[in-house]
Structure 1
Amino acid sequence: MTAQPLVHQSKQLRADVAVGERTDVPLTRLMVELQAERRMTATRWASGSVSEKELREQRAATDRAANEFRRAADGALAATGREDDHYVAELKHGLADLAAFRERADARSGDADRTIGYYSDLVDHIIRVYQNEFSHAEDPELIQESGLVVTVFTVSEMVARETTILAMAGPSRRLSPSGFAEFVNSVGSQRYQYDEWVAPYLTAEDKAAYDQVFASDGWKTKVRIEDAVISDHQNTASGIELPKEADAWQAAYDEFAPRLAALDAKQGRALLVHADAKATQLENEVIWLIVGNGAAVFAVAAVIVLTTRSVLRRLRGLHQRTVAIAEDTLPDVVARLQRGQPVDDDALPAVSGDRDEVGRISDAFARVVSVSVDGHARLAAERQGFGMFAAGIASRTGNLVSRQLALTDELQDAFGHDEELLARLMRSDQLTVGMRRQIENLLILAGGEIPDPHTEPMRVADLLREAAAEVEDFRRIERQSLDEISVAPRVISEISHLLAELLDNATRFSPPQSKVVIRAELVTDGLLVEIEDRGPRVTAATYEEMNGRLHSAPPYSVLAENAHRLGLFVVGHIAEQLGATVTLRRSVYGGTSAVVILPEELLVPTEPVRAGKEAPRAAATPAPAPGPLDERKPELVLHAKTGAAGRRTPERSPERPVRSRTPVPSATRDGDAKPALPERIPQAHIAEQLRAPHAPETGVHQDAATPEEVADAWADYEHGTQTVEEELRQDQP
């Protein structure tokens, strides 16, 4: 470093000190007077208690302070030979418009916020003049002290703005939303800036002086009112209504404001003294540089530079390795451990054994990574072991439930003539099916899979019926489906389980008298299945949380916290395996709509039923007697699913007659799950005399049923089934 820069800095500091000694006092007085006039203008605008005489006297005081500042600034610039400072010029230009804005205030012309904002802009110009006062300084301490002075003035301005905002509320104590927001910002700004940028840098003496102000009754009242305004305000149609405590603000402000302004001015004077001392110090350094030994300085500098560059180079390399491990390697290792995959030890940092400080830091980081990876490995092993344990328990329990379902099926076959007992068996069957679904949930969450015994595709209509049959309150479910598409055999059980969980959720969280509608239709991306209920309104945040459960595999800790609502986790797990998407959203009816998109690769075309295969069955089975015979109560056949993962359809008893009609969607089929509703078996409980077979009708060759005919026949079937259930309920005591 040569002497010339130091000389230049010294001259700049001397000039800054000379300008500051001439302008700081007038500038501070001008800021205080502008703040007072701004407050009075706001009070008068809001019909407050400020007389015209008081406002006129305050304006005169502001004019005197402005004229004094202009004279001082012009004299300082002439003495130092400098050009007019940019911020000083802006302030002078702003003061030139003071009379025009006063006229607007007197006439209440235009926007009050714009007029008050004009005064605030003038105060901001004053603070920027202070900020630019020692912009030429290169000393860190001087720059820090200059910033401290600017910050204390800013804090005082924030408090003064709070006073102006409360004055704008007027006697009605009502603020506009924008005014209230500005008040809250001012409170937060002045508290934060003092705590973070003023208090830590004050000397012990100055801090004690400020603490005395903050300990005064006026300041405590100010803090109490700020808290009350923020917490106790009322939102009304006409604006923000402030609490009554706000009326005490002006008295409290008048108490501490002069003391606070005096302390701020003291900080400004101390800055000038420090700057003058720094200029003297720089001049002394110039002398020392001239007579000192420059060679020694250069030698020391060279050693420092070389050492620093070496250390920085090693630290830079360590930083790059650390970031790479933290952002890439370690997350990948943890993910592999959670998936049960092996980890390559070469990918992890190793201990090098270097003895210097940088090497020790590198080795310590390597040990931390090793401990972290070992911990995650143990957790992954425990999770996998627990998953296997839970899967085993679920499998054994599922076998017991399957045996229970088989026993229920046998009881149904043995006592099908007892309608009351049959109804109770149906109830038992429903509860057992629900128990099996919960066991399958445990198996799924433990990482297992539900084996699918189906070997033939299943129509979507049958799939929806199978899913509805697993829901306890299945009578509330209304199905609307296509017959032209089927589902691949390998995914029937998984899709049925997924839809059953969503249907169960919809029936449990919607009014008992309401319907739950499940509809399916083909879309561009595959098959859309929508489940819509009339449940309570759910917030957007809750939908976001529930959809998050559908799209992420949670750890066991999250499952434990949500043990009472694991259905969405199960749905999300199955959807991930199927490549399907499940989204919950608000229904147009106010409830919840669950939208499931099954990919196209899970679908297969539905094979049409051939008339040739149905004709022999029609000929072999006598047609039921028409008329009154169909109006009697049919037998309710109970269907139960057996096997922990297998799903079968009970065979029809050969003694039970089968109706020979145009083929309709049957309640069961090979490999299908049990239906949602029982089948109607005509003539099962009519008088023995009426069971005599009629003369066989001439067999007529029938073509394959059209989709419209199938839909009509299915509607008749459902209507008849619902009628039978109503009659059963009426017959029960």
Structure 2
Amino acid sequence: MAVVPLAVVSVLSGLRVTASAQQIGDSRSDRSLIRLAIRLTDLAHSLEEERDLTSRYLADAGNRDSRPDPSGSGIALNRPRQSVDTLIDGTAHLAESEHDLPEIGARQGDLVKETLPKTLSTLRHAVDESQGTFPVSAALRAYGDAIATLIDGLEGLTSATSDPALAERLRTVTALSFGEESISLQRALVAVALEKGTLDTQEQEKLTNATAKRSAMLDYFLVVAEPSERLAYENTVTGRDVDESERIRLLLTNHLAGLTPDGKRSAKVADPRLWYRSITGTTELSRQVRKQIETKVLSAVSAQVNSSIQDTASNSVVLILLLTLTIVVTRSVARSITTPLRSLRSTALNIASTGLPTTVRRLENVQGEPPELDVTPVPVEGTDEIAEVARAFDTVHAEAVRLAVEQSRLRAAVNAMFVNLARRNQSLVQRQLQLIDTLENSERDPDQLENLFLLDHLATRMRRHGEGLLVLADAESYRGQRAPALLLDIARAALGEVEGYKRVAVGSMPETHLASGIIDDTVHLLAELLENALRYSDTASFVEIHARLVDHGDALVEVTDYGLGIAPETLDGINQRLELPGRPDVETSRQMGLFVVARLAARHGMRVALRSSLSLGTVAEVRIPAAMLQSKLPRRIPGSPIAQPPTLQASPMQEATIDSPEGEAISTTVAGEATATDTLPVRVRGSDLVPGSVPESNTSSRGANRSPEAIRAQLSQFHRGLRDGRRHVSTGPHGERQENHPKENP
């Protein structure tokens, strides 16, 4: 029970520390504001001096020939200008370096850094270029606006302070700064009047207003200032310079006698240099009082910051001690709870990260009926709440394992159904192909024979789709191929299993044989890629397939289409699925062909990847490891040569010769490369056999050795040529339409 009061005390101490930290932040912010305010008052004072000297310089335009100053006047402007520029840089640097400066201070710093230099540069350039002809009133007005902006910013900084007493002290500085501005304006106006010898009505009004404003600011200072500050002002702002400047001002005011013909009054009553020296001395005395007050205010706020830091440190020490005591007290209470919790946590993490995933993976790889699995309980004993949580976790763990076993059984059942359906489909398709072969052997009509060829091709495609179910079920399918085969023959076999085979052009192929154990799966894989390329490309374009040997003796087969291509992000996702096929899911039903390709490639260590073509379309790359390839074997005479695919024109029929047992050449005409107008290639019995692997039959008659397939191929070619000739006659030699003639019997 001692934990609760200790916790309450800790919270209260924390709140105290937070309040102290907030006070430190406010004090530091106030200190930054005061530092910036002091810089602004110094900058305003220096800018006032530049204004007054500039006005004297412009008023002294008639006496410059005998003056040593490079500007043509005895009044030097470089020193006050350099002083102003130095203070501008210092003020801007201070505003940037004070990290505790509030937003209003940062805005004032930006004004001094960016706006004020541009204004002064323009004004100075105009004064210098005018050679003393720049209007004095315009210069006074421009400088007055810049000074007013600085003093207004000083008022804003005073309002932003968080301590009311500190703000009150800062207002005394503002009052003195306003008073110095009034004295400076008097200095400029009287100096101009004494230099020119005249004082017009407008300038007299400005002088009167400046005198009244100085008196008002002095009264305000005496109200807000502390007694010591008032006494310091009265003892400091006195003496010969103060009396002399006041005497000259009153003399100028009292001797403003009658108007001259040009509407101005005579002002030649005193020496301008005497006036400027005495009034400047008065300004410096007022500035001394202001600097004393600024130093006092800055010291006060710095002491406040240090006090806040000390309070925060002491409160932090008390808080640490209380927290330490709380930890010591609660540790003994929590020890009896942490041990079983630690055991529960480690067991749960081990099951979640290692145990359960390992069990699920083992069940995924189980062939047949999955075994029954027991769950090891969490080693936490007792009847408290932690033990109840442990027993609940054991129940959840057991249920998860049971669901994994059920899922494994369901997956095995689905795979068995897939395999059963695929085997049935294979059996029916194989019987269908045998029936089609029988019908082809007995058919003599070339048109019907061509239809049977189309039906044969359709059944072959059905067989491939059925084998896709076996791949989904992770079962293997063999078509009885045992001898190694050339890559060219494998590519042609893949052509026979796609619908748009006429649009496929077979490119160069190395004379490399593929091992017998992977021929069926390689044909299936290439057929899926070809069908995908044909489906997603324009029907007027063609698809290329070629192969080459690459490094390490591997074979690289490329299937290129000229479709619209695939977006890069989609292409990356497809390549990831090709590299790691995983288990069948919902996505598999939409892209079953790619899943089959990935499964077949993973089964034999091949690598399949898609990439964008350099020009247009997509390239599918199949990398066959060198271990799957074999050295040269006795090469059979291929059924058709490699065709070149520059265009989609109908390629001519080509003939291949096979030596008969009697040494005579039997001509078997086969289709060239499949194009947009070719018919199906003719299948020749025994064309895939290696010469010498089948005993030759002894026949004496040349006609008896000619196979029915060869005769049918010649008749089919003859009929195809006759039909093309009729089409040519009906459309004309140049494509024009002719009159139809009665169809002749072949």
2:512 counterpart of 1:499: no
- Tell me the equivalent position of 2:504: 477
2:477 maps to what in 1? Answer: 450
Conserved 8 A contact 1:527-1:599: yes
* Match 1:620 to one of 637, 659, 662: 662
1:314 aligns with 2:356: no
8 Å Cα contact 1:636/1:679 also seen in 2: no
Instruction: Say if 1:634 and 1:682, in contact at 8 Å, map to a contact too.
Output: no
- Counterpart Cα distance in 1 of 2:425 and 2:504: 29
What is the CA-CA distance between 1:435 and the residue it aligns to?
0.9
Aligned to 2:413: 385
- Structure-2 residue corresponding to 1:583: 609
Name the CA shift for 1:365/1:656 in 2 (closer, same or farther; >3 Å).
farther
Change (3 A) 1:91 1:310: farther
Greater Cα radius of gyration, structure 1 or 2: 2
Letter in 1 for 2:343: G
Please give the alpha-carbon distance, in whole angstroms, between the structure 2 residues aligned to 1:348 and 1:600: 48
Distance 1:102 1:468, change over 3 A: same
Aligned mates of 1:388, 1:26 — CA distance in 2? 81
SS of residue in 2 equivalent to 1:354: coil
Preserved CA contact (<8 Å) 1:621 1:659: no
CA distance in 2, matches of 1:462, 1:616: 17
Change (3 A) 1:450 1:381: same
* CA shift digits 1:74-109 (9 cap, x unpaired): xxxxxxxxxx99735999899656422225777999
Aligned 8 A contact 2:601 2:607 in 1? yes
Relative to the length of structure 1, the TM-score reads 0.50
CA distance in 2, matches of 1:447, 1:462: 26
CA contact (8 A) 1:637 1:680 kept: no
- Does structure 2 retain, via aligned residues, the 8 Å contact 1:584–1:594? yes
Q: How much has 1:440 moved relative to structure 2?
A: 0.8
Q: Which residue of 2 aligns with 1:229?
A: none
Match of 1:596 among 587, 602, 622: 622
Q: In structure 2, what is the Cα distance between the partners aligned to 1:483 and 1:362? A: 65
Q: Is 1:524 aligned with 2:515?
A: no
1:368 aligns with 2:399: no
Secondary structure at the aligned position of 1:484 is classed as coil
* Cα distance change of structure 1 residues 19 and 684 upon mapping to structure 2, 3 Å threshold: closer
Matched, 1:87 2:129: no
Distance 1:625 1:25 in 2: 108
Aligned CA distance change for structure 1 residues 86 and 545 (closer, same or farther; 3 Å): closer
Q: CA, structure 1 residues 657+493, in 2 after alignment: closer, same or farther (shift >3 Å)? A: farther
Where do 5+ consecutive residues of structure 1 fail to align? Answer: 32-62, 72-83, 110-125, 134-271, 627-632, 642-648, 661-667, 669-677, 687-720
Q: Distance in 2 between matches of 1:521 and 1:592?
A: 18
Q: Tell me, yes or no, if structure 1 residue 538 matches structure 2 residue 566.
A: yes
Q: Deviations over 1:474-526 (max 9, x none)?
A: 12111124342101111110100110111111112211221111001111241
**Counterpart in the other structure of 2:113:** 100
Counterpart amino acid of 1:419? P
Q: 505, 517, 530: which one pairs with 1:490?
A: 517
What's the offset of the Cα at 1:357?
2.5
Measured against aligned partners, the alpha-carbon deviations of 1:271-299 in whole angstroms (never above 9, x if no partner) come to x9xx99xx89x99x99xx9xxxx9xx999
Deviations 1:225-253 (A, max 9, x none): xxxxxxxxxxxxxxxxxxxxxxxxxxxxx
1:304 equivalent to 2:330? Answer yes
Other structure's SS at 1:606 match: coil
Distance in 1 (CA, whole Å) between partners of 2:399 and 2:331 is 37
Measure the CA separation in 1 of the matches of 2:30 and 2:413.
Answer: 76
The alignment-based identity, stated in percent, is 29
2:441 to 410, 413, 438: 413
User: Aligned with 1:315: secondary structure?
Assistant: helix
Counterpart code for 1:475: K
**Corresponding letter in the other structure for 1:438:** H
Hey, what's the Cα distance between the residues in 2 that align with 1:574 and 1:541? 24
Cα–Cα, structure 1 residues 85 and 317, in superposed 2: closer, same or farther, change >3 Å? farther
Query: Secondary structure at the residue paired with 2:589?
Result: coil
Residues 1:459 and 2:472 are matched in the alignment: no
Query: What is the DSSP-based 3-state SS (H/G/I as helix, E as strand, rest coil) of the residue aligned with 1:394?
Result: helix
Contact kept? 1:635, 1:685, Cα under 8 Å: no
Q: What code does the residue aligned with 1:102 have?
A: T
Render the CA deviation track for 1:672-721: whole Å, top value 9, x for unaligned: xxxxxx987699449xxxxxxxxxxxxxxxxxxxxxxxxxxxxxxxxxx8
Change in Cα spacing, 1:728 to 1:377, as seen in structure 2 (3 Å) is farther
Cα distance in 2, alignment partners of residues 584 and 334 from structure 1: 32
Whole-angstrom CA distance in 1 between matches of 2:481 and 2:393: 55
Cα distance 1:575–1:321, how it changes in 2: closer, same or farther (>3 A)?
same
Residue 114 (structure 1) aligns with: none
CA distance in 1, matches of 2:432, 2:521: 22
The number of aligned residues is 447
Q: Which residue of the partner structure matches residue 508 of structure 1? A: 535
**1:725 and 1:564, CA in 2 relative to 1: closer, same or farther beyond 3 A?**
farther
**Contact 2:508–2:546 under 8 Å retained in 1:** yes
TM-aligned CA distance change 1:521 to 1:26, over 3 Å: closer
The one-letter code of the counterpart of 1:490 is G
Q: 1:312 to 1:27 in 2, by over 3 A?
A: farther
Cα distance in 2 for residues equivalent to 1:724 and 1:334: 63
For residues 393-412 of structure 1, the aligned pairs below 5 Å read 393-412=421-440
Partners of 2:568 and 2:480 in 1: how far apart?
40
**Are 1:394 and 1:439, in contact at CA under 8 Å, matched by a contact in 2?**
yes
Give the superposition deviation at 1:348: 4.7
- 1: CA distance, partners of 2:657 / 2:540: 43
Any stretches of 5+ residues in structure 2 without a counterpart?
A: 1-5, 38-86, 123-156, 164-303, 638-655, 669-677, 687-693, 728-742
In structure 2, the residue matched to 1:439 is 466
1:390–1:446 contact (8 Å) kept in structure 2: yes
Please give the alpha-carbon distance, in whole angstroms, between the structure 2 residues aligned to 1:457 and 1:130.
93
Identify the range of structure 1 (355-364 vs 582-591) with the bigger mean alpha-carbon deviation: 355-364
Residue identity matched to 2:520 = S
Provide the rounded CA distance (Å) in 1 between the counterparts of 2:116 and 2:719: 88
1:643-662 CA distances to partner (integer Å, 9 max, x unpaired)? xxxxxx9x99x9997999xx
Task: Flag the 1:15–1:424 CA change in 2: closer, same or farther, 3 A.
Answer: closer
Q: Distance in 1 between matches of 2:658 and 2:32?
A: 114
Using the alignment, how far apart are the partners of 2:447 and 2:391 within structure 1?
77
User: What is the SS of the residue equivalent to 2:474?
Assistant: coil
Distance of 1:410 and 1:539 partners within structure 2: 48
Aligned 8 A contact 2:660 2:666 in 1: no
Matches within 5 A, 1:700-715: none
Call closer, same or farther: CA 1:300–1:481 in 2, change over 3 Å. Answer: closer
More relative contact order, 1 or 2 (CA 8 Å, 6+ apart): 1
Task: Identify if the C-alpha distance between structure 1 residues 298 and 556 changes in structure 2 by more than 3 Å, giving closer, same or farther.
Answer: closer
Partners in 1 of 2:476 and 2:452 — Cα distance? Answer: 29
**Offset at 1:313?**
3.9
1:330 — aligned with what? 356
2:667 touches 2:710 (CA, 8 Å); kept in 1?
no
- SS in structure 1 of the partner of residue 505 of structure 2: strand
What value does the CA root-mean-square deviation take over the aligned residues? Answer: 5.8
Specify whether residues 22 and 529 from structure 1 end up closer, same or farther in structure 2 by C-alpha distance, changes over 3 A only: closer
Q: Give yes or no for contact 2:446–2:719 (8 Å, CA) kept in 1.
A: no
Looking at structure 1, the residues matched to 114 and 704 of structure 2 have their Cα atoms a distance apart, in angstroms, of 97
